[in-house]
């Protein structure tokens, strides 16, 4: 091959490289031209016998550098084209893959909401054990062993005078024994009763207890505070009403209804057409309770209340069966 022929070969090789359709074709060209067993090594082998070694050497060098450069340029161009094709193939309007977000259980949500309301009113959050003594669950609360109300709060008894607490009221005496008045606490927690499970009963449920003890605490304080709580939790239009009732540890005792948050008291399915919904038990702390914790009933008065958390959650979220709260069906609970 003479020099003009080599220059021609260079031209045609460059054109071929420019026309390579993809990276595989380009690689084949590289092997064929400057590869170990390609054209260039073969031409170099003939260099020794060439008549004008220097000019021939320069021509071969032109071949090598321009082909090497063209291969690299074409490679970059093909790679860029492949990338933009891949990008164009993506549908950017498709929704992303989101991880499922966790959520607080409706009962936890209601514990948080109720405690938050009472915290703003100056209450602190207290706690007590689920496994209680008969003393704190009943005796200290003016409910001796022969009292009829023990029957309605039958529970799971354990050896050694212990039981699973039937009410968060058990925290009242515990707290007062450990703290001097004034006392202003709420206590959310689990309670247990030997109830047959149905749409509104569960052997394990939650209550929130409230206790306010100081000088001159009156039933009017209870009414005002409960009214405020009703508005904060259920809506500004909701009112409360007291009905006389009996609890061993409060005197007088009341049951508290809220006006129906759904129909504003007109009567609907939720309030069973009465316009009112029973929410909690409450009353003025019985002097006997103060005596059992060592408070002077002539020096202090107080109110207490207790309500079921599940009931609040069911009312606010429109849940029709308490069992739905315990089935752990995330598809169901996720709605709230």
Point out which residues bind ligand PHE (CB under 6 A).
167, 169, 247, 250, 281-283, 304-306
Q: Are 288 and 203 in contact (CB under 8 A)?
A: no
Residue with tokens 């209450």: 123
How far is Cα of residue 322 from the mean position of the Cα atoms in its chain? 20
HEC letters along 109-160 = HHHHHHHHHHHHCCCEECCCCCEEEHHHHCHHHCCCCCCCHHHHCCCCEECC
Question: Shortest gap between Cβ of 180 and ligand PHE (angstroms)?
Answer: 21
Question: Shortest gap between Cβ of 168 and ligand PHE (angstroms)?
Answer: 7
Question: Shortest gap between Cβ of 211 and ligand PHE (angstroms)?
Answer: 8
Question: Which one, 13 or 166, has the nearer CB to ligand PHE?
Answer: 166
Count of helix runs (H) and strand runs (E) in the chain: 12, 10
**Sequence-ordered strand ranges (E) for the chain:** 124-125, 131-133, 157-158, 162-164, 183-192, 204-214, 240-247, 250-259, 276-285, 301-308
Question: Which one, 260 or 282, has the nearer CB to ligand PHE?
Answer: 282
What separation in angstroms does the CA of 58 have from each of 45, 50, 200, 329? 15, 12, 98, 81
Strands 240-247 and 204-214: unpaired
Question: Which one, 118 or 305, has the nearer CB to ligand PHE?
Answer: 305
Question: Which one, 63 or 247, has the nearer CB to ligand PHE?
Answer: 247
Question: Which one, 63 or 209, has the nearer CB to ligand PHE?
Answer: 209
Q: Please tell me the distance from the alpha carbon of residue 226 to that of residue 113, in angstroms, as a whole number.
A: 15
141, 167, 142, 135: which is closest to 154 by C-alpha? 167
Angle between helical axes of 106-120 and 309-317 (0-180°, round to 10): 100
Question: Which one, 8 or 194, has the nearer CB to ligand PHE?
Answer: 194
Question: Shortest gap between Cβ of 237 and ligand PHE (angstroms)?
Answer: 26
The dihedral built from the CA positions of residue 161, 246, 209 and 197, taken in this order, carries a sign that is positive
Residue nearest to ligand PHE (CB): 306
Question: Which one, 247 or 290, has the nearer CB to ligand PHE?
Answer: 247
Question: Shortest gap between Cβ of 283 and ligand PHE (angstroms)?
Answer: 5
Question: Shortest gap between Cβ of 160 and ligand PHE (angstroms)?
Answer: 23
Question: Which one, 206 or 261, has the nearer CB to ligand PHE?
Answer: 206
Question: Shortest gap between Cβ of 253 and ligand PHE (angstroms)?
Answer: 6
Question: Shortest gap between Cβ of 137 and ligand PHE (angstroms)?
Answer: 10
């Amino acid at each position: 091959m003479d020099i003009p022929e080599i220059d021609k070969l260079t031209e045609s090789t460059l054109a071929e490289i420019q026309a390579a359709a993809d990276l595989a074709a380009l690689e084949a060209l590289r092997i064929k031209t400057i590869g170990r067993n390609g054209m260039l090594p073969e031409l170099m082998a003939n260099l020794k016998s060439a008549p004008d070694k220097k000019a021939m050497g320069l021509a071969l060098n032109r071949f090598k550098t321009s082909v090497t450069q063209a291969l690299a340029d074409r490679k970059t161009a093909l790679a860029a084209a492949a990338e933009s094709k891949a990008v164009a193939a993506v549908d950017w309007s498709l929704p992303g893959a989101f991880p499922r977000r966790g959520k607080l259980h409706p009962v936890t949500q209601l514990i948080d909401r109720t405690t938050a309301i009472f915290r703003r009113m100056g209450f602190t959050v207290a706690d007590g054990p689920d496994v209680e003594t008969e003393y704190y669950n009943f005796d200290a609360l003016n409910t001796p062993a022969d009292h009829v109300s023990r029957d309605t709060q039958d529970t799971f008894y354990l050896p050694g005078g212990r039981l699973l607490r039937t009410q968060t009221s058990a925290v009242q005496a515990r707290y007062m024994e450990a703290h001097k008045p004034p006392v202003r606490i709420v206590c959310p927690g689990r309670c247990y009763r030997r109830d047959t499970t149905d749409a509104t009963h569960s052997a394990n449920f939650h209550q929130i207890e409230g206790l306010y003890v100081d000088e001159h605490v009156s039933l009017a304080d209870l009414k005002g505070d409960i009214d405020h709580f009703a508005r904060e939790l259920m809506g500004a239009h909701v009112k409360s009403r007291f009905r006389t009732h009996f609890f061993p540890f409060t005197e007088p005792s009341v049951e508290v209804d809220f006006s129906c948050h759904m129909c504003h008291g007109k009567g609907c399915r939720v309030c069973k057409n009465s316009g009112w919904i029973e929410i909690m038990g409450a009353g003025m702390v019985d002097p006997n309770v103060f005596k059992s914790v060592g408070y002077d009933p002539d020096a202090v008065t107080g109110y207490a209340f207790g309500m079921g958390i599940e009931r609040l959650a069911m009312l606010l979220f429109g849940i029709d069966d308490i069992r739905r709260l315990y089935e752990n069906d995330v598809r169901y609970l996720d709605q709230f």
